[in-house]
Amino acid sequence: MALWPQIPLEDTFGDVLRKAMRGNRIDTHSLAQRTGIASSNIDAWLRDRGTATPDEARELARALSLDPEKLAVRAENGWHPPGIEVSDVRHHPQDPHPSNGYVFFLDGGQRAALIDPAGIPSNLLRILRDGAYHLQYILITHKHADHCDATADVAGAFPNAQIVMHAADAAAIGSLAQRALKVRDGEELPFGDNAAIRMLHTPGHTDGSSSYLFKSTLFTGDTLFAGSVGGAFGEATGYDDILNNVRSKIFTLPDDTVLMPGHGPPTTIELEKAHNPFF
């Protein structure tokens, strides 16, 4: 359907470095000691000024439990996923947020589900009204405002749509949480006559972070980005949970599964296994 704009990776080399340092509880000083790299260089890279050589990137990776070869390629900005289109998935920006929203379709476009109602409501409603279809679900990946701050407006405009999210994040939508379906890990939502949407609970970015699988497309929210992972902001869950959930719940899906993240370009499981330095 809509063409995917060629957008850059969500995370720079500096972002990857920062997330891995925070996740491993290693500060600049101790990373410098472990790698023999000057603190001033590490600080500069964290601010996206300059980048490590491939050999320096391998040293950093070994100290941070990242994949050395994948991080070396990343330091040279040497990878971006190819343009990926899925015929029954439409992407839209969530202005003023830098996040991705999606609508996916069934039954020749007559039935649809929305991933993450966020952004300026009038813009979003104009996008959602572009087509005569029944919006069956409003699926929320997690509680951050750039993924759910337009929930009330969309739910008001589409009163028959079922709001779906994990209970741990439901407070973010206020009183609407009462009418939200609180899904659990592995639960399947019937979609049309013969299809289903499967929820995978993938906490760590937030405790209620959820990924939704429709056919061979997985909407990962801020759990997994092309070439990176989301920041660990959960209260009860964190960095190790993100990595473990990706390995056990996402990377166990078929390699050709398309991943549609909450930020940055789409990718596939095969590409992430080959290029994501966190794995």
Q: Give the residues lining the site for Fe ion (CB under 5 A).
A: 144, 222
Closest contact distance (angstroms) between CB of 255 and Fe ion is 26
- Facing residues of 221 across strands? 261
- Smallest gap from residue 179 Cβ to Fe ion (A): 23
Q: Which is nearer to Fe ion, 10 or 59 (CB)?
A: 10
Q: For residue 41, what are the CA distances in angstroms to 9, 20, 74?
A: 23, 16, 17
Q: How far is the CB of 230 from Fe ion (least distance, A)?
A: 6
Task: Count other Cβ atoms within 10 Å, centred on residue 223.
Answer: 30
Closest CB 85 distance from Fe ion, rounded Å: 25
For the chain, the helix, strand and coil percentages under 3-state DSSP, each to the nearest 5: 35, 25, 40
Nearer to Fe ion, 35 or 99 (CB): 99
CB closer to Fe ion, 10 vs 56 = 10
Nearer to Fe ion, 118 or 161 (CB): 118
Residue type, position 24, single letter: N
How wide is the angle at C-alpha 213 spanned by C-alphas 2 and 250, nearest 5°? 115
Q: Which is closer to Fe ion, CB of 26 or CB of 229?
A: 229
Burial-class residue 198 by CB neighbours within 10 Å (0-12, 13-18, 19+). Answer: middle
Q: Within 10 Å of residue 195's Cβ, how many Cβ atoms?
A: 14
Token reading at 114: 């929305």
> CA-to-CA distance for 130 and 122, rounded, in angstroms?
13
Paired tokens of 213: 């699988």
CB of 213 to Fe ion, least distance (A): 19
Residue 13, classed as helix, strand or coil, is: helix
Give the nearer residue to Fe ion in terms of CB position, either 222 or 241.
222
The first and second tokens of residue 6, run together, are 């060629």
